[in-house]
């Protein structure tokens, strides 16, 4: 069962926002297709011509059967098919497009043409009549003499604009229904992780929280105040008993992870002596950035600290503040830390498939003293600009360096 706020309705709302281009495409498709479908299935109109028997040599009762036999012998259909090659299949011309009405006790035949276009309907009726008359008179004595009484004219039809106006809203409703169906299908198949509660339920690993990571230009790092949800995450991290924090993620989330690491370091440097393993960030004044060449020395220090008293292991270069090491790297050597002193945090994006998150947990978490998840969402564009770098020496307090950087 989903936690509050991520029920079926909430998941559907998220899916509509996430796949908004699909929803828009379905609405446009419905609005365009519906009027055309309405025109395609429009009721055809009828036009008719009249053929009269001027001289009748046969019994009046037999006249309808004689007319139907002549009309259906194929000559009329061939004439229509020759003039209208794009019409229906030959076998469907009679009675779908042209037909004969021969009433009992009447000397008049009605030749009917059908089409959505009134002019074409009249042309069909007249073409059929032109082929029908010679066939009727071919018998000569014994049948009679037949002539055209009145040709077919296009019937007067009022343009139905109301149908098109109604078709557009119906198409929009149909497009919305299609969009809801497709989005629901995607949600069922993908089972996306939308909230922190969903991640904890799917993996069983505690979640630190949810942080919105602002979007920036490449090489620019946003300030911590532009990361909603970061402060509660920092508080929870400080409650952990480990001195090393390892941030890992899938390959596609590395940029968001780097932004998050920089923001974490900027916040934690106010209360801890922070060492950062990973790319050097100019904005991280007050944070000691180290690379893999110093990793063996640091690991050795951590191993000694693991067996030393807390007062010795937590001090950092005489500052009297506890030390925390943040590792932001996908290099295997950077991730080899003493298990008892390591907390591994898996950073994952909103909307990740449940199966993909479970696979990432199996791949990245395990063997550490603490394992946590951290959900990141896309935030707004940051207004941050690159700041000048302030060199930090061992004698400068990190907080003073951060203040100098802010002033610059």
Percent of the chain's residues with pLDDT above 90: 36
Residue 44 pLDDT > 60, yes or no?
yes
Q: 221 with 357, same domain?
A: yes
In terms of pLDDT, which residue wins out, 157 or 240? 240
In the sheet that 273-277 helps form, which strands lie side by side, from edge to edge?
A: 207-215, 370-381, 342-349, 244-249, 323-328, 273-277, 288-290
**Residue 155 placed within a domain:** no
Mean pLDDT of 218-224: 84
Among 169, 190, 211, give the residue marking a domain's end: 190
Tally of domains in the chain: 3
- Report the length, in residues, of the chain: 408
CA angle 144, 148, 150 (to 5 degrees): 145
299: confidence class by pLDDT, cuts 50, 70, 90: very low
Percent of the chain's residues with pLDDT above 70: 75
Residue 310 pLDDT > 80, yes or no?
no
Among 126, 150, 174, give the residue marking a domain's end: 150
Closest C-alpha to 128, from 46, 56, 40, 55: 46
Give the pLDDT confidence score for residue 280 in this predicted structure: 57
- The range of the structural domain enclosing residue 238 comes to 193-281+291-305+322-381
Distance CA 125, CA 136 (A): 16
**Residue 312 placed within a domain:** no
Q: 84 with 208, same domain?
A: no
Among 86, 119, 150, give the residue marking a domain's end: 150
| CB-based contact 44:121 (threshold 8 Å) | yes
Distance CA 349, CA 213 (A): 10
Whether the CA torsion 318, 320, 322, 326 is positive or negative: it is negative
Residue 374 pLDDT > 50, yes or no?
yes
| CB-based contact 374:246 (threshold 8 Å) | no
Q: How far is CA 195 from the centre of its chain?
A: 19
**Residue 53 placed within a domain:** yes
**Residue 50 placed within a domain:** yes
Residue 62 pLDDT > 70, yes or no?
yes
| CB-based contact 117:47 (threshold 8 Å) | no
Residue 288 pLDDT > 60, yes or no?
no
Mean pLDDT of 188-216: 91
Q: 256 with 275, same domain?
A: yes
Q: 135 with 96, same domain?
A: yes
**pTM for the complete prediction?**
0.61
Which CATH number belongs to the domain containing residue 143 in this structure?
Answer: 3.30.70
Poorest-confidence range of 116-125, 153-162, 328-337?
A: 328-337
Give the pLDDT confidence score for residue 287 in this predicted structure: 56
Helix (H, G, I), strand (E, B) or coil at 379: strand
Q: 59 with 198, same domain?
A: no
Those residues whose C-beta lies under 8 Å from the C-beta of residue 34, and which sit 6 or more positions away, are: 167, 168, 170, 171, 172, 174
Give the pLDDT confidence score for residue 90 in this predicted structure: 79
336: confidence class by pLDDT, cuts 50, 70, 90: low
319: confidence class by pLDDT, cuts 50, 70, 90: low
Most confident of 39-48, 87-96, 281-290: 87-96
Q: 201 with 236, same domain?
A: yes
Q: 124 with 257, same domain?
A: no
Give the pLDDT confidence score for residue 342 in this predicted structure: 83
pLDDT tens for 154-190 read 988 766 554 667 888 888 999 999 999 999 999 999 8
Helix (H, G, I), strand (E, B) or coil at 344: strand
**Residue 317 placed within a domain:** no
Q: 138 with 266, same domain?
A: no
Distance CA 145, CA 269 (A): 111
Residue 291 pLDDT > 50, yes or no?
no
**Residue 386 placed within a domain:** no
In the sheet that 98-102 helps form, which strands lie side by side, from edge to edge?
A: 98-102, 108-115, 45-56, 144-150
Residue 12 burial class via C-beta count within 10 angstroms: exposed 0-12, middle 13-18, buried 19 and up: middle
Q: 129 with 241, same domain?
A: no
Strands 273-277, 108-115: parallel, antiparallel or unpaired by DSSP?
Answer: unpaired
Torsion of CA 219, 222, 224, 225, to 10 degrees: 180
The helix (H) or strand (E) run that includes residue 247 is strand 244-249
State the SS3 of 29-97: HHHHHHHHHHHHCCCCEEEEEEEEEEEECCCHHHHHHHHHHHHCCCHHHHHHHHHCCCCCCHHHHHHHH
Q: 67 with 90, same domain?
A: yes
Q: 51 with 80, same domain?
A: yes
In the beta sheet, which residues pair with residue 123? none
End-to-end CA distance of the chain: 52
**Residue 402 placed within a domain:** no
Which CATH number belongs to the domain containing residue 217 in this structure?
Answer: 3.40.50.300
Q: 180 with 205, same domain?
A: no
Q: How far is CA 347 from the centre of its chain?
A: 24
**Residue 408 placed within a domain:** no
């Amino acid at each position: 069962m989903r936690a509050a706020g991520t029920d079926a309705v909430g998941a559907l709302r998220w899916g509509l926002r996430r796949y908004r281009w699909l929803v828009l495409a379905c609405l446009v498709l419905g609005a365009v297709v519906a009027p055309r479908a309405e025109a395609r299935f429009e009721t055809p109109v009828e036009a008719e011509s009249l053929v009269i028997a001027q001289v009748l040599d046969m019994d009046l009762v037999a006249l309808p059967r004689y007319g139907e036999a002549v009309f259906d012998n194929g000559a009329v259909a061939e004439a229509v098919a020759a003039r209208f090659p794009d019409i229906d299949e030959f076998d469907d011309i009679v009675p779908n497009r042209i037909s004969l009405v021969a009433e009992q006790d009447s000397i008049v035949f009605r030749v009917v043409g059908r089409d959505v276009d009134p002019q074409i309907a009249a042309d069909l009726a007249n073409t059929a009549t032109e082929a029908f008359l010679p066939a009727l008179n071919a018998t000569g004595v014994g049948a009679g003499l037949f002539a055209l009484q009145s040709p077919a004219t296009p019937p007067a039809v009022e343009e139905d604009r109301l149908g098109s106006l109604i078709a557009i809203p119906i198409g929009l409703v149909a497009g919305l229904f299609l969009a809801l169906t497709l989005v629901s299908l995607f949600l069922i198949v993908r089972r996306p992780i939308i909230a922190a509660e969903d991640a904890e339920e799917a993996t069983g690993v505690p979640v630190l929280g949810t942080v919105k990571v602002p979007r920036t230009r490449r090489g620019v790092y946003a300030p911590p105040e532009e990361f909603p949800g970061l402060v509660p995450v920092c508080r929870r991290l400080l409650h952990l008993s480990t001195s090393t924090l390892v941030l890992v993620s899938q390959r596609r989330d590395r940029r968001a992870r780097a932004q998050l690491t920089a923001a974490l370091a900027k916040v934690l440097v106010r209360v801890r002596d922070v060492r950062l393993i990973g790319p050097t960030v100019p904005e991280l004044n007050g944070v000691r950035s180290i690379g893999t060449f110093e990793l063996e020395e640091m690991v050795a220090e951590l191993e000694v600290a693991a067996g030393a008293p807390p007062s010795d292991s937590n001090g950092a270069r005489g500052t009297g503040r506890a030390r925390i090491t943040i590792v932001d790297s996908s290099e295997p050597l950077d991730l080899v830390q003493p298990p008892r002193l390591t907390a591994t945090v898996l950073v994952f994006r909103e909307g990740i498939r449940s199966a993909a998150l479970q696979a990432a947990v199996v791949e990245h978490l395990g063997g550490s003293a603490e394992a946590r998840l951290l959900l990141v969402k896309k935030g707004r564009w940051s207004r941050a600009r690159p700041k000048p770098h302030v060199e930090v020496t061992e004698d400068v307090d990190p907080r003073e360096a951060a203040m100098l950087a802010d002033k610059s």
